[in-house]
Structure 1
Amino acid sequence: MASEKPVNRPSVRHPSHNHPLRVFKARGEDEIICSGCELELTGLAFKCTKSECDYFLHKSCFDLPREINHKSHTDHPLTLLHSSPYGQPYTCDACGEYGSGFNYNCSECQYDVHVGCAFIPETVKREDHEHSLTLIYNTPCKGRDDGTTFMCDLCEETMSENLWVYYCKECDYGTHVHSCPVYEAHKPKKREGEASSEALRMQSLMIAQDELAAMRIRNKIKNSVIHFGDEPRYKWVYD
């Protein structure tokens, strides 16, 4: 009896992994962790074609640009790294949390940002505050010599002066970018005591995917359309 031919599924390569990857549809009940951003895998993704290899990537992580110019670090571009450059977990200079997966890095300054943090929106709106909050790349107290420190208005914890803050200057109101529920009005209620930072960084990666799609559209039309006004927030650089 003739044996069935094996299914020839298309595969792709990614520089972060030695084996080919294939398209994978993640379900919420799978509870799989993305090897790039280290957050729960959701939606369209990629997995290693080797059955014994437990490597998965969000599509948004797969598509991240290799280099970006970011407003938080204007002296040098940030390069996408697929692991910590220090041989141990790095500390994100945006949110202050640890990471060991993908990150945007300036080797000259040892500046590191989670890939999700790199694409958080520049303004957000909270239902419990009348004004929009603007992203700033250090606390308003940075550089003061009178010993004043900045306190998050949600969790009431004192913040390092170099951490990013969502801030309303008019009210002197500010919050952490991730460890406090900035997007609470836009996500399901969580059980008491359940951490929210991973969900928020995952939402940031989805925003990153939208940014990348918009970037591709801009690249297609930039040679035929004259642009007026401000430059795009990020300048993407590809090899």
Structure 2
Amino acid sequence: MAITRSLTHVCYDHYELKTYAKLFNCDGCKMKGFGERYTCNLCGHELHKKCRHPKSEVSHENFGGSIFTFLDKPFTRLGKKNRREFSKCCDACGKDICGFNYHCEEDNLDLHPCCRKLEKKLVIDDTIFDLETKVSSKCGKCRKKKISSDEKNVQGWSYVSQCKKYHFHVYCINEMVHEAYMKHGDLALENMDLRDLVRYNRNIEGGNTFLTTIKSFIKILLSALLGDPTMLFSNFAVEMIWRGI
């Protein structure tokens, strides 16, 4: 059965592009954001740039010929004690779809707007990271291949170095932001704990090179997940994180 959903009629005339050095909750996709955002001068709502200008239909090279339709509302279901809960998760990062999303009805696939725009390949300090849908190694953060093995059985996308030494789930990097935010609020980026990532390769050959590479890697991936390209040109947040290790 075809699913039809009408887009919310929002007047974008009052939205203005602004930049603040703090995290925010996007009122579109309900995900965290940082830096640049569109802010409504009337109601104060904030949107990622990608949520401010969604496309009605998109595709993604990781999913062959699948066609995704933009939806402004998430799918929900009745859970335990008849409580309404979200019923879809992003096939890229593994997090619940709580707001704006791209959905492929035919192939039952879902993507957050920001996750849809993740770079396919990152070149960092001569180390090439590929965005992969299936991996054979364990993530350097969670030490697992899959994000979850429950009823959702989410594989999740990962960035894996072509030398196969470094592997990190997109989900795990996102979780680091969330955990730091819950502990430190707007100081989340300055207080994010990267010690687990450091220990992951502390004793391997070329460890110092790894530390330099992973600093750049975190900066670039956070800029994509939080919807703020300006982080690509500033080391401030990552340097502040690093000082606490």
Shorter-chain TM range is 0.5 to 0.7
The counterpart of 2:15, out of the listed 19, 23, 34, is 23
Partners of 1:47 and 1:106 in 2: how far apart?
30
1:127-166 maps to which residues of 2 (within 5 A)?
A: 131-139=127-135, 141=136, 150-160=137-147, 162-166=155-159
- The 2-side partners of 1:94 and 1:200 are apart by 15
Deviation, 1:18, is 3.6
**When the two structures are superposed, what TM-score results if normalisation uses the length of structure 2?**
0.56
1:205 aligns to what? 227
Find the aligned partners of 1:44 and 1:171 in 2 and give their Cα distance. 35
Task: List structure 1 runs of 4+ shifted beyond 6 angstroms.
Answer: none
Shift of 1:56: 3.4
Answer with 1 or 2: which has the greater Rg. Answer: 1
1:74-85 equivalence runs, <5 A: 74-85=64-75
In the other structure, the counterpart of 1:173 is: 166
Displacement of 1:37: 2.5
With over 3 angstroms needed to count, the CA separation of the structure-2 counterparts of 1:31 and 1:94, relative to structure 1, is: closer
Give the CA deviation at 1:154. Answer: 3.6
Say which SS state the counterpart of residue 173 (structure 2) adopts: coil
The SS at the match of 2:55 is coil
2:54 is the alignment partner of 1:64: yes
Higher helix fraction (1 or 2): 2
Residue 205 of structure 1 aligns to which amino acid in structure 2? G
Please say if residues 131 and 168 of structure 1, whose CA atoms lie closer than 8 Å, have aligned partners that are also in contact. Answer: yes
Whole-Å separation in 2 of the counterparts to 1:120 and 1:31? 19
Shift of 1:44: 4.6
Q: 1:172: Cα distance to partner?
A: 5.0
2:36 equivalent to 1:43: yes
Aligned with 2:38: secondary structure? strand
Once the two structures are TM-superposed, the CA of residue 157 in structure 1 deviates from its matched residue by 3.1
Aligned residue runs from structure 1 range 182-193, under 5 A: 189-192=190-193
Please name the residue that 1:104 is paired with.
102
**Residue number in structure 2 paired with 1:9:** none
Change (3 A) 1:120 1:64: same
| 1:96–1:31 Cα change, 3 Å | closer
Distance 1:201 1:98 in 2: 20
1-side partners of 2:90 and 2:34: how far apart?
21
Instruction: Give the deviation of 1:27 after TM superposition.
Output: 5.5
> Structure 2 vs 1, CA of residues 190 and 110 (structure 1 numbering), >3 Å: closer, same or farther?
same
Distance 1:119 1:154, change over 3 A: same
The within-5 A match list for 1:118-129 is: 118-125=116-123
**Matched residues in 2 for 1:45 and 1:71: separation?**
28
Closer/same/farther in 2, CA of residues 178 and 76 from structure 1, 3 Å limit: same
Q: Unaligned 5+ residue runs, structure 1?
A: 1-14, 142-149, 208-239
Cα deviation, residue 153, structure 1? 2.5
2:114 & 2:124 partners in 1: Cα distance?
Answer: 20
Is residue 37–residue 48 contact of structure 2 (8 Å, CA) maintained in 1? yes
Structure 2: gaps of 5 or more residues:
1-5, 78-84, 148-153, 178-188, 195-217, 230-245
Alignment partners' CA distance in 1, 2:11 and 2:225: 27
Aligned partners of 1:81 and 1:103 also within 8 Å = yes
